[in-house]
Amino acid sequence: MQVSLHGSMARVVASVGALLLIVAAPIFAQGTVTGRVVTAEGQLPLGDVQVLVEGTSIVTMTSAEGRFTLRNVPAGARELRAFRVGYTPQKKPVAVTAGQTATLEFAMVPAIVKLQEVVTTATGEQRRVELGHTVATVDVVKKMGEAPIKNMGDLLVAKAPGVQVLPANMTGGGSRVRIRGTSSFSLSNDPIYIIDGIRMTSTSAGGIGVGGTAPSRVNDINPSEIENIEIVKGPSAASLYGTDAANGVIVITTKRGRAGRTNWNTFVEHGQISDPNEYPTTHAILGKSVGSTVQRRCFLREVAAGTCVVDSATSLNVYNRPDLTPIKLGQRDQMGLQVNGGTEVARYFMSFDVQKEVGPFGLPAFNRARFDSLKVPLDDHLKRPSQLEQASFRTNVNAALSQNLDVGVTSMFTRLEQRLPQVDNNVNSFWYNGMIGPGFTGAGPGYTGVGSLGQPLMGYGNFTPGEIYQRLATQGIQRMIVGTNINWRPRNWLAARADFGVDLTSRTDYGLQKFAEGPDFSTQRQGTVTDARGSTRNMSANINATATWVPFAWLNSKLTVGTQYVNFNNYTNSAGGSILPPGAQNAGQATTPNVSQGTTLANTLGVFVEEAVSLFDRLWLTTGVRTDQNSAFGRNFQRVYYPKVSASWMMSDEEWFPKKIPLLNTFRLRSAYGFAGQQPGPNDALRTFSTTSTTVGAADVSGLLSSALGNPDIQPERTREFETGFEAKLWDSRINLDFTYYNKKNTDQLFNLPLAGSAGTAATSILMNLGATQNTGVEMLINAQILDSRNFGWDLTISGSKNANKIITLGLLPSGLPLPTIGLNGTVQQRSGLPIHSYWSRPFSYSDSNNDGMLVSTDVVVDTTWKFKGYSQPRDEISITNGVELFGRRLRLTALADFKSGSNLFNNEEGFLCQQSVSCPYTSSLKPSLANQARALAYRDQGTLNTGWGFMEQLQFWRLREISAVYTLPDNIARTVFRAASANVNVAVRNIKVWTAYTGVDPEANYGQGDTQQTLLTAGPPRYVNLRINLRY
């Protein structure tokens, strides 16, 4: 298949190249248009304005002096458009005479609600008004100036309707991003990322091996280098991005140089990181059996039954005691320098950035005192086990090599070093050992207070952070993304664009537990080491050409033909071993070595065509299709097609549209329908084998077993989506309202079809395209500039979304019967007609028969039937961003709050502790509520009917996520104090307060990047308090 893809690619490129050479001939009857763009108020020059000739490929940007020149403009009556973010777009006529120069001036009026009028699509830049689908835009430069943003997850959370982000809680951890719900339960539901036209690697970042938390390669991108982010939400918009675009596309545009004098921008940031979460307290009831004098632990159910006489009750929270807690103040420091400038011919942008973040965890005081007394030297990772250091460098250069040819080169290099402690669902985790303690620090019933190494446990379970932190886990990253963007306009009606680039990542995961160090668990103290290396290459090429035809003044036609090629390679190898001699630190010194290696290859070749028609510059119709070949498709399935169609209608421009509707300024209807896909796993179509040995006669004989049967008919999951909505500007354009409805259906879902034991194969299933799922929902966005004066401003952004998903069918067995439930009798199940990854368990009831406020096991009655509990992902989301500007608009105050609800969350942390430990507050304290007693007894004391129903809690919360204050210093102070042209000071706080009835640590506690939130023994969101100074020279 790979050879076939390469051959097809060569033929496509040759055809496109030949077409372009044919049309690149001299043209006649042309003129030139020059002019200037200024502000309507004050007549000040306005740079970075995009000026284009309507109906042609001719476009330019104004210089810092606001001047522009458009050459080779066809003679005759023409219309010019001018766009700039923050200003109302303008259109003006101009008469062009062959061989002559016409002049034109634009006086642009600031837009009250500042929206991006031009967006990036698969075929190039396009006016937002022409699109039949919605595109969410994040103004990163503005967000970076207002909020404490450290990574891509912070940039996206609560910023766009329909985009759900579950942030990472550990330093360097990856966030989960879902756009318009979950569609697949066999393949990834992550969106793809495009940066400056180049396909970016965005998958999880390898196994650092700490229990659950894992880095993400998306966070390698430095937010301070980004200009804006556009979110293409579904197949109706992403059809031309093809296979893998079914979950949406996040398009990142980095900063570019601007014509004019050189500008130097620098910043320095310092912050503190704290963990304000309340983690579980351990409890103990101490008493005696009736007639006994020996003290023991009692459970509340025994007190209720009268089999234990209470002496006392005690509790301990090691996370709250200053001498015992592993939670410390963390610190974040960052500084950066950016330079941009140039001429109309060549422009440049360069940036350099370094950051260091020390997470809010450290060695408890009692551990430190013990190590000091034993004269044990403290390694850095023992003192502060959570840390990230990163350095990033970027250079972007754009040059106008001729009046028809522009070339841009983008390059990024980042180097990252990260370490994490043992956390999450892990018996060696400091969360686990701090939460399963006895409820007291010294010796007591069932607890000696001394570990197996003779160390004081001080209320921890089996190990203390002093031993746990001795295990080192690090990840090192070196990453480079390089791309070239070429824009060629051989004729005024023809424009060609090409993007070529490669994303290279080198990764080293290193884990070490030295001999005689670490927790005394199994054989770990004999020493273990792992050195895993990975090399990822993601190469992409995009070529397209757009021909514009204007047969009539009221009709504009654009035809785009293009191709895209993506080549993904990932190579991994790992060397490790156990039983290390003293002082050993590498795999070659291990007594019992182990090695492994792996290779993942995936290639996609796509060809697309799109036709866009504009009627009277108020009705836009677009249709197109893309076809893909992919190396992961089965050999009997060679090609897939993704058609699309859309319409956008500016109704308010029609003559018959009422002009005097109160408060309504413009009104646009839009609608889109399209397909996109998701490729199978790279090796899913292949039959694979594993080796085995057996005895034939008296001899050992090697043989092969079927590991996976493969499937020559396997094809991508295919998603189709219908989207419709409207946009309106109200109240003198002070309010912009955007509403969208979507209906998305995913077919050809991949499931493992069970095989009968009599099939004659060691494989128990075969992967096949069988099922279908559906997501429907609505999205709303309101941007409002409520007050806008010279000295005071007040703006408000409200976004909201509602999503519902379900499994339409799991498919049919060969017998014709429906495929059985996946995950039957599990807490997460897949059933036809119900939501994806839905929660299930057995309900229960309880009664306090003697009204003594205490329950025994028989007071709880569990239903024998498993029942649907609810969704596992939030369906309803609201975010509110409020901004106020004071004191001549020098001080800006911003606050972001968001709301999530409509699902359940399995409080697995409390459930696990009540089921597995002896110190659960609902079983080992004297006054828990009856409801809490009942859910604990239902989960641990009902034998085969144990149920987690009571810990599947309703998820609903409000979070005050961000607040910030930015003060722009008077120019004279900036010059005197900093010798800068301008300066501002930013104080910002993230994760301020949450309001919820959820009883776990936090409703966003999570350690995974999968579809179901993982709350077991993990950290809650930390709080960041940052001070940042920005200077411009």
Query: What percent of the chain is modeled with pLDDT above 90?
Result: 79
Tell me the average pLDDT of the chain. 92
The answer on 555 and 502 residing in a single domain is yes
Residues 104 and 162 in one domain: no
- Partnered with residue 782 across adjacent β-strands are 737, 798
Q: Is residue 247 part of a domain?
A: yes
Domain containing residue 26: CATH number: 2.60.40.1120
Q: pLDDT (tens digit, 9 = 90+) per residue, 299-342?
A: 999 999 999 999 999 999 999 999 999 999 999 999 999 999 99
* Shared domain check, 342 and 252: yes
- Residues 488 and 610 reside in one and the same domain: yes
pLDDT digits (tens, 9 = 90+) for 916-969: 999 999 999 999 999 999 999 999 999 999 999 999 999 999 999 999 999 999
pLDDT digits (tens, 9 = 90+) for 72-110: 888 888 889 998 878 888 889 999 999 899 999 999 988
The H or E element that residue 936 is part of is: helix 930-940
Report residue 25's pLDDT band, with 50, 70 and 90 as the boundaries.
Answer: very low
Residues 97, 154 within the same domain = no
Model confidence at 24, in pLDDT bands (50, 70, 90)? very low
In a domain, 853, yes or no: no
Would you state the pLDDT for residue 23? 44
User: Of the candidates 95, 111, 127, which is a domain's last residue?
Assistant: 111
Convert the pLDDT of each residue in 601-624 to its tens digit.
999 999 999 999 999 999 999 999
Residue 980 inside a domain? The answer is: yes
Q: What is the mean pLDDT of residues 226-250?
A: 92
Given a cut of 90, whether residue 121 has pLDDT beyond it is no
- Would residue 989 count as lying in a domain? yes
- Do both 105 and 152 map to the same domain? no
Q: At 27, is the pLDDT very low, low, confident or very high (cuts 50, 70, 90)?
A: very low
Per the CB < 8 A criterion, the answer to whether 495 and 546 are in contact is yes
User: Given this model, what pLDDT does residue 87 score?
Assistant: 86
Residues 538, 587 share a domain: yes
pLDDT above 70 as % of the chain: 96
21 pLDDT band, cuts 50/70/90, is: very low
More confident residue, 8 or 269: 269
In the chain, how many H helices and how many E strands?
12, 48
84 shares its domain with 153:
no
Q: What is the pLDDT of residue 1?
A: 44
> Using CA atoms, how far apart are residues 858 and 911, in angstroms rounded to an integer?
19
Q: How far apart are CA 332 and CA 330, in angstroms?
A: 7
Average pLDDT over residues 991-1010: 95
Q: Which residues pair with 179 in a beta bridge?
A: 163
End-of-domain residue from the set 61, 96, 111: 111
Is 643 found in the same domain as 790? yes
Report residue 701's pLDDT band, with 50, 70 and 90 as the boundaries. Answer: confident
Please check whether residue 908 is in contact with residue 1016, taking contact to mean a CB–CB distance below 8 angstroms. Answer: yes
Residue 320 lies in a domain: no
**785 and 663 inside one domain:** yes
**Is 160 inside any structural domain?**
yes
CA 475 to chain CA centroid, nearest Å: 20
What three-state secondary structure class fits 14?
helix
Give the number of C-alpha atoms closer than 13 A to the C-alpha of residue 528, restricted to the C-beta side. Answer: 17
Q: For tokens 């480079």, name the residue.
A: 480
| 8 A C-beta contact, residue 836 and residue 182 | yes
Asked if residue 545 lies in contact with residue 16, where contact means CB atoms within 8 angstroms, the answer is yes
For residues 103 and 198, membership in a common domain is answered with no
CB 935 within 8 A of CB 943: no
Number of domains in the chain: 2
CATH of the domain at 222: 2.40.170.20
Q: Is residue 717 part of a domain?
A: yes
Enclosing domain of residue 20: 2-111
Is 435 within a domain? no
Q: Point out the domain boundary residue: 111, 133, 167.
A: 111
Split at pLDDT 50, 70, 90, the class of 19 is very low
List C-alpha distances in Å: 93 to 28, 88, 828, 958: 21, 17, 62, 51
Residue-wise pLDDT tens digits, 338-388: 999 999 899 999 999 999 999 999 999 999 999 999 999 999 999 999 999
Residue 119 has pLDDT above 80, yes or no: yes
pLDDT the model gives residue 796: 97
Q: Are the C-beta atoms of residues 7 and 636 closer than 8 Å to each other?
A: no
Query: Does 79 share its domain with 227?
Result: no
CA angle 950, 953, 956 (to 5 degrees): 165
pLDDT of 695 higher than 90: no
> pLDDT tens digits for 236-247?
888 889 998 999
Reported as a single tens digit per residue, the pLDDT across 655-693 is 999 887 888 999 999 999 999 999 999 999 998 888 888
